[in-house]
């Protein structure tokens, strides 16, 4: 008990940093809980109907729901910006994704966010660590995109700063992290939009 008090009273104790870390972990748990709740809801419906839903059917239902929610929230906007063909191909790619690929994406996203945070703390978007984060980001978006281009990657990074929804996701209690990622990706691709 005394050692905890000493840590809290230490001039080196950064309460804001600890709170931000705790917030980050809670957001990660919230995302996991949302996925679990969605699967549980589908299982309950299946049981109420008297059928036994296989894991594959649960996963297929989950993917359909994700596509449907994405269309509801962003469909008009992204179709207007990128065109029906691009969005339809992306949706098809997600719909055809296996459970193993989906698990790989989640692991990759977690690794990306951890690497991005470590790179952000260095303050150097050209560092080896920052460029590793840009490469992880390229791998991550490639699971969703039909094809990769440096121009599109750089444009997406610019949107992360311009669009408050994306900015808040990447900042997550660390103001400036979205801009840092944008700068990192611009260095990675060799394309500067801003």
According to the model, what pLDDT value does residue 135 have? Answer: 98
Question: Per 3-state DSSP, what percentage of the chain is helix, strand, and coil (rounded to 5)?
Answer: 80, 0, 20
Q: What angle do CA 78, 168, 170 make, to 5 degrees?
A: 90
**What are the residue boundaries of the structural domains of the chain, listed by start?**
97-194
According to the model, what pLDDT value does residue 133 have? Answer: 97
**How would you write the pLDDT of the chain (194 residues) with one tens digit per residue?**
556 666 667 777 687 787 788 788 878 778 777 777 877 777 777 677 765 557 778 888 888 888 888 888 888 888 888 889 988 998 999 889 888 998 999 999 999 999 999 999 999 999 999 999 999 999 999 988 888 999 999 999 999 999 998 899 999 889 999 999 999 999 999 998 76
According to the model, what pLDDT value does residue 29 have? Answer: 79
Q: Which fold has domain 97-194?
A: Globin-like (1.10.490)
């Amino acid at each position: 008990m005394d050692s905890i008090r000493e840590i809290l009273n230490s001039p080196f104790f950064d309460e804001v940093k600890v709170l931000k870390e705790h917030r980050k972990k809670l957001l990660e748990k919230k995302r996991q809980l949302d996925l679990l709740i969605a699967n549980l809801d589908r299982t309950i419906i299946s049981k109420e109907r008297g059928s036994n839903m296989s894991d594959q059917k649960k996963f297929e239902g989950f993917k359909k729901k994700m596509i449907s929610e994405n269309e509801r929230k962003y469909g008009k906007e992204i179709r207007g910006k990128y065109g029906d063909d691009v969005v339809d191909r992306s949706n098809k790619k997600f719909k055809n994704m296996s459970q193993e690929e989906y698990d790989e994406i989640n692991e990759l996203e977690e690794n990306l966010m951890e690497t991005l945070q470590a790179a952000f703390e260095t303050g150097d978007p050209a560092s080896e660590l920052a460029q590793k984060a840009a490469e992880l980001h390229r791998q991550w978006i490639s699971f969703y995109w039909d094809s990769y281009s440096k121009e599109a990657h750089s444009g997406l990074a610019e949107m992360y700063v311009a669009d408050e929804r994306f900015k808040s996701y990447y900042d997550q209690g660390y103001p400036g992290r979205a801009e840092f990622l944008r700068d990192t990706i611009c260095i990675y691709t060799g394309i500067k939009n801003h």
